[in-house]
C-alpha cells in the first residue's frame, strides 16, 4: 500500500460520520498519496461540501482534489473516475442493503467489488486500526500460479496494513472435509489435510514472520470460517481476494468476498489477480 499514489474516496453526504474519509486520512498520512474525493450524484449540487472537505484536508497537509459525477450507476461512476484519475485504491463506506432488496437486485457494493480494477477498501467500523489484528484470508488449496500470486498479494497487503497500524498479521485458510472416496490419501484424514495446508503456508510464514499461533487452518466453508475467525481474534481489517465472478455462475454461487461482506465485523480490503485486473481495465476502456 506504500506505493499507492492516488486514493479515490467515495463521499456520501448522507453518511455524516465520513468513515471512508477517516481511513483515507490514515493511509494517506503514511503513503503520502493524493486524495481524490468523489460524490456520486447527478442531481443535487454538493460543491460546497466538497470544497469544505478539501480545505480541511489541505490544512492537515494532504494533497487533495474533488469532483461530483454520475455515470448511469454508483459502481460505474466510481470505476470511471478511478480509471480517469489513475487511483490505486478505492475507499468506500459499506452500507448493507436489506435482505429483500439484496435477494431481488445485486447490491451496488457487490458490483463494485466485482468490476473495479483496483483494490477496494470497504469501511464498516469507526474503530481505530492502531494495535489491532489484521486477518488475511487465502485459499492455499488452489496452488496454480494465478492463485499463488493472489495469495502473495493478499498476505503482502495484510503485512503492510499491520505495519501501518502497529498490529499483528493473522492468516486463515479453510480446508475441505476428509473424503474417503478420494484417490489421494492426503485428503482422507483431517490431520493430513491440515498438515498439507500448513506446509503450503510455510513460504509466506517465513517471509513475513508469521508464527504458527497466528496461522489459522480450519475445516469448513470459507464464507463461514472467515467471519468466525475475524470475530474470534477481533480483527480490525480482513484482506480477501475475489475472482470477480459474474453472470449466471455469480448469481448462483456468489463470491466469498461478497458473501462475507455483511457478516464480517471488520473493514474489508478486496483484491483481484493481475490478469482479471487487466481484463477489467480493458472492459472499462471500451465504454
Q: CB atoms < 10 A from the CB of 200, how many?
A: 21
Residues 274 and 144 in one domain: yes
Residues 85 and 30 in one domain: yes
- Mark out the alpha helices in the chain (DSSP H runs): 19-31, 47-59, 74-85, 99-104, 108-115, 145-165, 190-208, 222-232, 247-253, 256-261, 274-286
Residues 178 and 57 in one domain: no
Average pLDDT over residues 137-147: 78
Number of domains in the chain: 2
Domain ranges, residue 44: 6-93
pLDDT at 195: 85
C-alpha pair distances (Å), 160 with each of 2, 33, 149 = 8, 15, 16
- CATH code for the domain of 59: 3.40.50.620
Report helix, strand and coil shares of the chain as percent, to nearest 5: 45, 20, 30
pLDDT in tens, 149-195: 888 889 999 999 999 899 999 999 988 776 544 545 555 566 788 88
Task: State the pTM of this model.
Answer: 0.87
Most confident range (mean pLDDT) of 62-66, 180-184, 253-257 is: 62-66
pLDDT in tens, 189-239: 667 888 888 888 888 899 889 999 999 998 888 899 999 999 999 999 999
Give Cα 279 to chain centroid, integer Å.
Answer: 19
Amino acid at each position: 500500500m506504500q506505493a499507492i499514489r492516488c486514493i479515490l474516496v467515495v463521499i456520501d453526504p448522507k453518511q455524516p460520520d465520513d468513515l471512508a474519509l477517516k481511513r483515507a486520512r490514515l493511509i494517506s498520512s503514511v503513503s503520502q498519496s493524493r486524495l481524490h474525493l468523489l460524490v456520486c450524484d447527478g442531481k443535487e449540487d454538493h460543491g460546497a461540501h466538497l470544497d469544505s472537505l478539501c480545505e480541511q484536508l489541505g490544512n492537515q497537509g494532504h494533497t487533495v482534489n474533488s469532483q461530483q459525477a454520475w455515470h448511469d450507476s454508483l459502481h460505474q461512476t466510481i470505476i470511471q473516475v478511478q480509471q480517469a484519475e489513475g487511483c490505486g485504491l478505492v475507499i468506500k463506506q459499506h452500507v448493507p442493503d436489506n435482505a429483500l432488496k439484496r435477494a431481488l437486485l445485486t447490491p451496488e457494493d457487490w458490483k463494485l467489488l466485482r468490476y473495479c480494477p483496483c483494490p477496494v477498501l470497504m469501511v464498516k467500523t469507526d474503530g481505530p486500526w492502531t494495535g489491532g489484528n489484521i486477518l488475511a484470508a487465502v485459499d492455499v488449496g488452489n496452488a496454480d500460479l494465478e492463485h499463488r500470486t493472489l495469495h502473495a498479494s493478499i498476505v503482502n497487503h495484510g503485512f503492510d496494513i499491520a505495519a501501518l497500524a502497529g498490529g499483528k498479521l493473522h492468516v486463515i485458510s479453510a480446508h475441505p472435509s476428509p473424503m474417503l472416496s478420494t484417490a489421494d490419501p492426503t485428503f482422507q484424514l483431517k490431520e493430513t489435510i491440515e498438515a498439507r495446508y500448513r506446509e503450503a503456508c510455510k513460504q509466506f510464514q517465513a517471509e513475513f514472520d508469521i508464527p504458527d499461533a497466528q496461522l489459522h487452518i480450519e475445516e469448513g466453508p470459507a464464507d463461514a470460517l472467515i467471519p468466525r475467525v475475524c470475530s474470534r481474534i477481533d480483527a480490525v481489517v480482513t484482506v480477501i481476494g475475489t475472482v470477480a465472478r459474474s453472470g449466471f455462475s455469480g448469481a448462483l454461487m456468489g463470491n466469498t468476498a461478497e458473501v462475507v461482506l455483511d457478516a464480517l465485523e471488520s473493514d474489508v480490503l478486496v483484491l483481484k489477480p493481475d490478469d482479471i485486473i487487466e481484463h477489467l481495465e480493458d472492459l472499462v476502456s471500451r465504454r
